[in-house]
């Protein structure tokens, strides 16, 4: 009389309960993927047999498979929370230097400006150049922002203007720039330029009509007397003709002067009121990091106290042909194995078969709690039934032993 079948059933049911218990325990774990115990029957084999069915000797757990279905996406409003909607994993460089993968997008920013997980793993992606340009096909590495210091000041080199001058405006009379009718300040705008150390230099720009389709341009620095910077001529359609204005000479507060060019190629002269559509310059004051966001395309943006928003990099996702082959190692991480192989694709979110990101949100566990509770009751009944098999075999054994 054998107890093998009952014992194997108890062992398999116990392992199934372990899997179900693990799923239930992680029903609220971000990015967790449920597992399922899969069973296989066992048979004995005998020499010299041909055909027929051999004696069944029980059951075993063939494997515990992971269910990589999409979890619900919950809005959190946290700028560093990111959910993946679709295929792919975040690439994480762990403190020991190895690369792991996760669906948990609850990221943090440490004091060094590095984007990390709760287990201090570094989020991987493409690092942007100094001007914020993200290279295509660049080297993937840890993403970080310069929180330890300021982004440097940049001296202004050009002012770009877009405006419309009223075609019906009267030609000015008098002596420029102070004795004009209408006054020079009738049509004007202002910008703030910066020197190499980021000091502000207020610049005012004025336009006065000197003849049909012809306007003179003046600039004033720090409220000084305006000086001429050339003339704008417009064609019969109101478009500017070959604008070539002289550069402004700005006093540098730390000594000396520097030149800033004027670009008015966007200027027009139509029969409508004077308006400014653009007045920008390419310099900046120094700034410190005030906020960080990750948008739906995976671009990590740093917002600074000088009003600049500069990309620091872009998240890169990875996917596998056989995700079932990934090995869970705890901490919401998976590691590649010979079964999973290396990532079949790496790229920015939304490219190829990679999923898209949802910023300010997290992916919930895909555990169906109701289903797991029903599975638990089924596994409990299976355990009880296998225990009853052993009990019955024990009773039969006892009857045989007590025969006289």
CATH 2.60.98.20 domain locations along the chain: 158-281
Please tell me the predicted confidence (pLDDT) of residue 46.
62
Asked if residue 98 lies in contact with residue 313, where contact means CB atoms within 8 angstroms, the answer is: no
pLDDT exceeds 70 at position 172: yes
Confidence of residue 136 (pLDDT cuts 50, 70, 90): confident
* % of the chain exceeding 90 in pLDDT: 63
Tens digit of each residue's pLDDT (9 = 90 or more) over 244-302: 899 999 988 777 889 999 999 999 999 999 999 999 999 999 888 888 888 888 999 88
Asked if the bond preceding 182 is cis, omega within 30° of 0, the reply is yes
CATH class of the domain defined by 158-281: mainly beta
Structure tokens at 279: 């007045």
Please tell me the predicted confidence (pLDDT) of residue 109.
87
Tens digit of each residue's pLDDT (9 = 90 or more) over 315-340: 999 999 999 999 999 989 999 999 99
Please tell me the predicted confidence (pLDDT) of residue 193.
94
Strand extents, DSSP E, 188-236? 188-194, 200-211, 214-221, 227-233
> ∠50-51-53 over CA atoms, to 5°?
120
pLDDT exceeds 70 at position 4: yes
**Strands 89-93, 99-102: pairing kind:** antiparallel
* % of the chain exceeding 70 in pLDDT: 96
Span 81-105, average pLDDT: 94
């Amino acid at each position: 009389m054998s107890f093998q079948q009952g014992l194997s059933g108890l062992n398999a049911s116990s392992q199934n309960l372990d899997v179900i218990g693990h799923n239930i325990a992680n029903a609220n774990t971000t990015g967790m993927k449920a597992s399922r115990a899969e069973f296989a029957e066992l048979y004995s084999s005998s020499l010299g047999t041909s055909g027929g069915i051999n004696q069944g000797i029980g059951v075993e757990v063939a494997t515990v498979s992971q269910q990589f279905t999409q979890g619900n996406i919950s809005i959190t409003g946290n700028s560093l929370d990111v959910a993946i909607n679709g295929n792919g994993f975040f690439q994480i460089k762990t403190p020991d230097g190895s690369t792991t993968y996760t669906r948990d997008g609850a990221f943090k920013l440490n004091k060094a400006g590095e984007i990390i997980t709760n287990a201090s793993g570094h989020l991987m992606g493409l690092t942007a150049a100094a001007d914020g340009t993200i290279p295509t096909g660049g080297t993937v590495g840890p993403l970080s922002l310069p929180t330890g210091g300021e982004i440097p000041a940049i001296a202004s080199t050009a002012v770009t203007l877009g405006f419309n001058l009223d075609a019906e405006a009267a030609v000015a009379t008098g002596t420029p720039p102070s004795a004009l009718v209408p006054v020079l300040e009738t049509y004007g705008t202002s910008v703030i330029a910066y020197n190499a150390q980021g000091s502000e230099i207020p610049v005012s720009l004025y336009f006065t009509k000197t003849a049909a389709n012809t306007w003179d341009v003046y600039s004033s620095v720090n409220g000084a007397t305006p000086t001429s910077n050339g003339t704008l001529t417009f064609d019969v359609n109101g478009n500017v003709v070959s604008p070539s204005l002289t550069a402004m000479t700005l006093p540098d507060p730390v000594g000396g002067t520097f030149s800033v060019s004027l670009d008015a190629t966007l200027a027009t002269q139509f029969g409508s009121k004077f308006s400014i559509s653009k007045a920008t310059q390419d310099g900046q004051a120094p700034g410190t990091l005030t906020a960080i966001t990750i948008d739906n395309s995976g671009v990590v943006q740093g917002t600074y106290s000088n009003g600049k928003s500069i990309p620091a990099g872009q998240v890169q996702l990875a996917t596998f042909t056989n995700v079932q082959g990934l090995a869970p190692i705890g901490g919401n991480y998976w590691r590649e194995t010979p079964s999973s192989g290396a990532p079949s694709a790496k790229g920015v979110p939304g490219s190829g078969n990679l999923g898209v990101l949802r910023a300010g949100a997290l992916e919930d566990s895909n555990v169906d709690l109701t289903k797991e509770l029903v599975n638990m009751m089924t596994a409990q009944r299976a355990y009880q039934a296998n225990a009853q098999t052993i009990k019955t075999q024990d009773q039969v054994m006892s009857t045989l032993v007590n025969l006289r």
